[in-house]
Structure 1
Amino acid sequence: MMILGTILSILVRNIYGDSILIMSLKIPFSFATSGGIQRIDPLRFMTSKNLISSANTKYSLQLLAIDHPGHLLVPIKLNGANYPSWSKSMIHALTAKNKIGFINGSIEQPSEKDQPTEYAFWNQCNNMILSWLTHSVEPDLAKRAIHAKAVYQVWEDFKDQFSQKNAPAIYQIQKSFISFSQGTMTVSTYFTKLKGLWDELDTYRALPTCNQMKAHDEQREEDCLMQFLMGLHDTYNVVRTNILMMSPLPNVRQAYSLVIQEEIQ
């Protein structure tokens, strides 16, 4: 089967400024088959999914004027033990720069022979991100990024080495919840320290899939609410009981506000 096509140039205004991104998409307008020519409307082929996918890929292969090799993406450097928090910080930073595809494998290396232009853009971005990684890890780990050919290889290397040690850390945090209580702390100080434990625990746990996100968030909210209420001083027994009687239950931030109101009275 032979596909006949046309090249369509599309102008997309960059939402970060006035620059224009030009995309060239090959839109098939007919298929030559044994039964004759079947014509296709190019505009129907141009679904929003096709355009968005192409736009995202094109933009991912662009660098901004503010991007430079010595740029520090995150405030912490990987030392091994801090991999969970470091990796999530890097994911946030690379997602913001639309470069997440270089570490999750969704942006593949183009053929230098068959796609020289695309390869040149990819290679430029790949080397820029490798430089960012080099400056985001401790010196003994930086050598891996310096000698690597692709960002994805370095990312997977770090992941394989450091992401398998989560169980002991999760155990220690969960153990802390058992004995953690308000004691002589103010409600604000107690809540802040408790939230620090929740956030730390989140860094060690894998993110749920999209279809599980809602159930995951609801369960997490309930767990945090119960831990917060269980650790409160006994002087808040009345407000704690009132919160537990609410239907539906408030989230932990709403419960915190109610307890704070009780504290200042």
Structure 2
Amino acid sequence: MTPEISRNYMFYFSAREIWENLIETYSMKEDSAACYDIESKIFNSRQGTLSVTEYYGTLNGLWIELDQYQGMKMCKANSIAYTRLIERGRIFKFFHGLNFEYNPIQVQILGKEQLPSLSKKPDDQSCLTKETPTQDLQW
């Protein structure tokens, strides 16, 4: 940290206060052009010739990048609800870009009472599996 910048932080009482202020001052979370670019890439993503795993990896990388710009402070209960809402939208986007041969599996998954997480493997072994040469879609 340069001396000019450090002078602004000399009188904070804790390292946490310093970090919170640094994040607020220097973070990239307000970069609307970057967010738009990432959202456009997400919107235009399709599985095409990629395996399901590769397609998910592409989307997940974009979502992680987008999350860096969208820091929000909220209580734990609201945070959990917001995270579920974001995850639901990501499942819909993932399904939207899948090749048509996965439509029957999508219908089965969307018919469940609770949607599975994209990032966690289900605990039960009754995963829905699409028999394909790559056999890479399991829920």
Provide the TM-score with structure 2 as the length reference.
Answer: 0.70
Q: Does 1:199 align with 2:64?
A: yes
Cα distance, 1:148 vs structure 2 = 5.3
1:183 corresponds in structure 2 to 48
Alpha-carbon displacement from aligned partner over 1:176-226 (angstroms, at most 9, x marks no partner):
122101111111111111101111111111234123112111101101111
Aligned position for 2:102: 236
Structure 1: gaps spanning 5 or more residues: 1-133, 135-141
Instruction: Determine if contact 2:105/2:130 at 8 Å carries over to the other structure.
Output: no
Q: Residue 38 of structure 2 aligns with which residue? A: 173
Alpha-carbon offset, residue 160 of structure 1: 2.9
Greater RCO (Cα-Cα under 8 Å, separation 6 or more): 2
The residue that corresponds to 2:90 in the other structure is 224
**3-state DSSP of counterpart to 2:67:** helix
The answer to whether the 8 Å contact 1:208/1:216 transfers is no
Aligned-partner Cα distance in 2 for 1:258–1:232: 15
The CA deviation at 1:146 is: 5.6
Partner of 1:245: 111
Q: Separation in 2 of the partners of 1:158 and 1:253?
A: 27
Q: 1:158 to 1:214 in 2, by over 3 A?
A: closer
If you compute each CA radius of gyration, which structure gives the higher value, 1 or 2?
Answer: 1
Instruction: Determine if contact 2:109/2:115 at 8 Å carries over to the other structure.
Output: yes
What CA RMSD, in Å, does the superposition of the two structures yield over aligned residues? Answer: 3.2
More strand by share: 1
Contact 1:187–1:259 under 8 Å retained in 2: no
Matched positions, count: 125
- Which residue pairs with 1:107 in the alignment? none
- Report deviation, 1:240: 1.6
Deviation at 1:231, TM superposition (A): 0.9
Select which of 21, 24, 28 maps to 1:159.
24
| CA offset digits 1:41-99 (Å, max 9, x no partner) | xxxxxxxxxxxxxxxxxxxxxxxxxxxxxxxxxxxxxxxxxxxxxxxxxxxxxxxxxxx
Equivalent-residue separation in structure 1 for 2:109 and 2:20 (angstroms): 45
1:127-147 CA deviation, whole Å, 9 max, x = no partner?
xxxxxxx3xxxxxxx454565
CA 154–240 in structure 1, closer or farther in 2 if over 3 Å, else same: closer
**Identical-pair percentage:** 23
Residue deviations 1:101-139 (CA, integer Å, cap 9, x gap) = xxxxxxxxxxxxxxxxxxxxxxxxxxxxxxxxx3xxxxx
TM-score for the superposition, normalised by structure 1: 0.40
Q: Could you tell me which runs of 5 or more consecutive residues in structure 2 were left unpaired when the two chains were aligned.
A: none
Answer yes or no: is the 8 Å Cα contact 1:182–1:232 preserved in 2: yes
Q: Which amino acid aligns with 1:224?
A: R
Sort the Cα spacing of 1:171 and 1:238 in 2 relative to 1 into closer, same or farther, 3 A.
same
